[in-house]
Amino acid sequence: MPDSDKTVRIALLIDADNAPAEKIDEITTELSTLGVINIRRAYGNWTKGGLSGWQDKLLEYAIRPIQQFDYSKRKNATDMAMTVDAMELLYNERPDAFGIVSSDADFTPLVMHLRAKGAAVYGFGAEQTPKPFVNACSRFLYLESLGAVAPVSAMDEDADGTPVQPALAEATAPGVPAQPATLRMPTAQLRQDTRLMVLLREAAQACKDEDGWARVGAMGSQIANKTSFDSRNYGYASLSKLLAATQDFEFRDEGTSLVSVRGKRAAKGG
């Protein structure tokens, strides 16, 4: 883990064959809150017309294009080129974290290796990204959850007028919804997600003090050590907002860095 008193250096590696150019602003904005993106590379066969939308973005965001020709007609070689470069960077440049932009499960072993060597991995991909890749990342954000929220009709609102997402299946892994939520999931839907609720309650239990209060910041760190998780995949800007939406916790010191929660059931019991 990087020292808290030094700038986190991030290497951003983009699988341009499997990533939309129009999301690069949101991706770089997200990573810039975590550290300095001092390495920026996008991989693809730039002779293809399908990648033409990337040209202006490469110049605007100072991203170095890496040419990789296809070695066969049915499979591009971008993933292998990215993997080789990531390994070289890991042992030579030693960045503190990697941003991997792709929806390709082939990167799962790479992500697991990078994390085993102490580097954080922030993944970005589309909603169809296979769950093994999502779960392997330190944190994964669905591209559909970044940026503007899609419009909904007047029928798609809960009792207080909040836009809601159509019902989803149960999460396939703790902290990872079956689909990304571009709109806020309503309370009833969150509470029906058994794995999410267990994840939140276990984090509160693990981080609680002698009075039963758990710092939300500590809970976030505890959850991040267990699984790939981001509250925005449920439509909430922060873990605090997600916890409030479940209506399963009471709050103390809201609006401060010391904000803490306690399970309502635990509070009633003692």
Residues 19 and 121 in one domain: yes
Domains in the chain, number: 2
Sheet with strand 214-215: strands edge to edge: 214-215, 260-263, 249-252
Q: Are residues 139 and 177 in the same domain?
A: no
Q: Which residue has the higher pLDDT, 92 or 29?
A: 92
Query: pLDDT, tens digit, for every residue of 219-257?
Result: 888 887 777 788 888 888 889 999 999 999 999 998 888
Q: Confirm whether 166 is domain-assigned.
A: no
Residues 15 and 105 in one domain: yes
Among 204, 198, 234, smallest CA distance to 219 is for 204
Closest CA relative to residue 47, chosen from 70, 64, 80, 63: 70
pTM: 0.65
Last residue of a domain, which of 114, 148, 182? Answer: 148
Residue 154 lies in a domain: no
Least confident range of 26-35, 157-166, 230-239: 157-166
Residue 235 three-state SS = coil
DSSP state for residue 75 in the 8-state scheme: B
Task: Indicate whether 3 pLDDT > 80.
Answer: no
Higher pLDDT, 76 or 47: 47
28 is a domain residue: yes
Do 132 and 238 share a domain, yes or no?
Answer: no
pLDDT of residue 93: 95
Query: Do 177 and 132 lie in a common domain?
Result: no
Note whether residue 162 is domain-resident.
no
Q: Are residues 35 and 94 in the same domain?
A: yes
Are 96 and 212 found together in one domain?
Answer: no
| pLDDT score recorded for residue 6 | 78
CATH number at residue 66: 3.40.50.1010
User: Looking at 78-92, 100-114, 180-194, 249-263, which range is the least confident one?
Assistant: 180-194
Q: How confident is the model at residue 264 (pLDDT cuts 50, 70, 90)?
A: confident
Predicted confidence (pLDDT) per residue in 87-114, tens digit: 999 999 999 999 999 999 999 999 999 9
Cα(168)–Cα(177) distance, integer angstroms = 8
Does 52 share its domain with 134? yes
Same domain, 175 and 135: no
What would you measure as the largest C-alpha separation in the chain, in angstroms?
67
Range of the domain at 246: 171-270
Where is mean pLDDT largest: 152-161, 163-172, 259-268? 259-268
Same domain, 141 and 186: no
Residue 60 belongs to a domain = yes
d(CA 119, CA 241): 28
